[in-house]
């Protein structure tokens, strides 16, 4: 079956997918919409060298796409599976486009009662608000996919720190008289006022390009955030950005990476090398990402043979270390610790004498392997949930590496740890101050990661780093 025949067959199939949950609007020969009361899913066909399909879900009530991906139409079963994932996301969009408001108090008990009242009133008044409540211990993990955070008066002292940690959210303290009387009307007024003033801006991500990178390259980074998977990609050619975008899905599979790479290479065949950044365990081009049920998959081998280009795979912590070092050459020997919200342990990247240290089978920086040997004041899963606990957790994880490596600088990405001096003070319980590295906080979980991946790819493409000799004949 050629491309045009597959296009005709797939288009006919999607038009047959009738469901009372949505209406189907045929916009033109190459565009079909699936519309509900809350959102619209758009199917767009592009007739390039190959047939390309994009799926997007958006809503007038949402500030960014709820779902986006694109792929080459080459396998009918794969295309149908992606379409069904889009439709499932469309049906859930009514929940996703509501303003999600999280209440928190010490135990979560009194705020749960208040949240129930607020949900009942919101439904009666037909307001697009959804309320839930958690204890303070669970606040920062639960807040990741919420829009507004309301703190009960008894934890109002945490307001400043909560705003620093949840800087892309609206964070407020409920006035004592409002909370004491469960005043629903005044709470709605408070939320409306803050939403009207909100000027939420996407975190700026600089394009990754460098005059020294004398080949066209592509960087693809997998990020887990707000209970969705995001696949960010950036292309560059010498001093010019080539392409940038993001795929948003609730699940993640190797085929999602393949689709992003495939479509980008179709559009830009001049790309000579691709760097993939991922969380999880990376060993010699192989990836294990247990939450996504990806176990020891040889990404570099598969993609190099398929696309006949240079591929590298790098762990996000190692990429952050390379990216930071490349832009701070005066930092000396570097330890980078990367600990996103919701993780009970992070990962470390080590740069010694200007070289990334990965160790035997990429074991360097895999901190989870020695956690059971450490003594914590309470369960480490609980420590990871609060700013107070994270200081102890991070200090005890990085302490063995500091004593072993003696780094000059510790570059830290950890949202819950807002003040590097708190970490320093905790480390001073065990070390004399003169042994403690200069602690620098990374403000972004993007820039250093993308730039570091570009550095590694450049080094591999120019032969300054040996990487997968077994694939030399498969690279252009």
337-353 pLDDT tens trace: 988 887 788 889 999 99
Confidence of residue 212 (pLDDT cuts 50, 70, 90): low
Instruction: List, in sequence order, every residue forming a beta bridge with 170; answer none if it has no partner.
Output: 148
Confidence of residue 330 (pLDDT cuts 50, 70, 90): very high
15-27 pLDDT tens trace: 999 999 999 999 9
- As a whole number of angstroms, the distance between CA 119 and CA 137 comes to 23
Confidence of residue 111 (pLDDT cuts 50, 70, 90): very high
The arrangement of strands across the sheet holding 347-352 comes to 355-357, 347-352, 334-338, 409-413, 438-441
Question: Is residue 208 scored above 70 in pLDDT?
Answer: no
Confidence of residue 372 (pLDDT cuts 50, 70, 90): confident
Query: Could you give the C-alpha distances from 354 to 138, 224, 338, in angstroms and in order?
Result: 40, 29, 19
Question: Is residue 201 scored above 80 in pLDDT?
Answer: no
pTM attached to this predicted model: 0.79
Greatest extent of the chain over all pairs of C-alpha atoms, in Å: 73
Provide the mean pLDDT of the chain: 88
The reported pLDDT for the residue numbered 200 is 44
Contacts of residue 244, defined as CB under 8 A and 6 or more positions apart, other chains included, come to 205, 207, 232, 233, 234, 235
The reported pLDDT for the residue numbered 65 is 77
Q: What is the DSSP secondary structure assignment for residue 288, as one 8-state letter?
A: E
- Strand 99-105, strand 67-72: pairing: unpaired
- Inter-residue contact 346 to 366 (CB < 8 Å): no
The reported pLDDT for the residue numbered 203 is 47
- Inter-residue contact 218 to 232 (CB < 8 Å): no
- Inter-residue contact 88 to 107 (CB < 8 Å): no
The reported pLDDT for the residue numbered 202 is 45
Question: Is residue 422 scored above 70 in pLDDT?
Answer: yes
- Taking residue 439's Cβ as centre, other Cβ atoms within 10 Å add up to 20
Higher pLDDT pick, 118 / 203: 118
């Amino acid at each position: 079956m050629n491309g045009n025949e597959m296009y005709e067959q797939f288009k006919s199939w999607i038009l047959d997918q009738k469901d009372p949950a949505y209406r189907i609007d045929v916009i033109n020969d190459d565009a079909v919409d699936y519309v509900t009361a809350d959102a619209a899913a758009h199917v767009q066909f592009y007739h390039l060298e190959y047939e390309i399909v994009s799926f997007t879900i958006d809503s007038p009530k949402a500030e960014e796409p709820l779902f986006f991906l694109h792929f080459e139409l080459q396998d009918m079963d794969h295309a149908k599976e992606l379409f069904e994932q889009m439709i499932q996301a469309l049906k859930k969009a009514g929940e996703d486009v509501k303003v999600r408001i999280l209440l928190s108090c010490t135990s979560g008990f009194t705020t749960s009662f208040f949240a129930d009242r607020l949900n009942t009133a919101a439904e009666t008044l037909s307001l697009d608000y959804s309320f839930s409540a958690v204890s303070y211990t669970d606040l920062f993990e639960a807040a990741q996919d919420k829009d507004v955070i309301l703190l009960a008066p008894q934890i109002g002292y945490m307001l400043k720190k909560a705003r620093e940690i949840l800087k892309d959210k609206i964070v407020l303290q409920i006035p004592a008289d409002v909370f004491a009387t469960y005043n629903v009307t005044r709470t709605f007024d408070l939320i409306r006022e803050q939403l009207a003033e909100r000027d939420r801006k996407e975190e700026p991500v600089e394009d990754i390009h460098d005059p020294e990178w004398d080949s066209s390259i592509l960087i693809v980074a997998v990020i887990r955030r707000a209970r969705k998977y995001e696949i960010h990609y950036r292309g560059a050619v010498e001093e010019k950005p080539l392409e940038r975008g993001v795929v948003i899905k609730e699940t993640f599979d190797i085929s999602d990476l393949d689709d992003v790479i495939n479509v980008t290479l179709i559009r830009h065949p001049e790309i000579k090398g691709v760097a993939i950044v991922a969380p999880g365990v990376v060993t010699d081009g192989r990836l294990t990402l247990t939450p996504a049920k990806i176990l020891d998959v040889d990404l570099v081998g598969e993609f190099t043979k398929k696309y006949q280009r240079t591929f590298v795979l790098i762990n996000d912590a190692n990429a952050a270390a390379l990216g930071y070092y490349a832009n701070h050459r005066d930092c000396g020997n570097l330890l980078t610790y990367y600990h996103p919200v919701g993780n009970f342990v992070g990962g470390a990247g080590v740069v010694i004498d200007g070289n990334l240290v990965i160790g035997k089978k990429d074991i360097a920086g895999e901190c989870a392997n020695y956690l059971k040997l450490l003594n914590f004041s309470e369960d480490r899963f609980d420590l990871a949930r609060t700013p107070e606990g994270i200081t102890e957790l991070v200090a005890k994880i990085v302490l063995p590496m500091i004593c072993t490596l003696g780094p000059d600088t510790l570059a830290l990405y950890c949202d819950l740890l807002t003040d590097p001096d708190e970490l320093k003070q905790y480390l001073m319980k065990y070390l004399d101050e003169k042994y403690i590295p200069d602690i620098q906080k990374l403000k972004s979980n993007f820039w250093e990661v993308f730039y570091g991946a570009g550095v590694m790819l450049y080094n591999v493409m120019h032969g300054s780093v040996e990487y997968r000799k077994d694939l030399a004949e498969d690279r252009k």
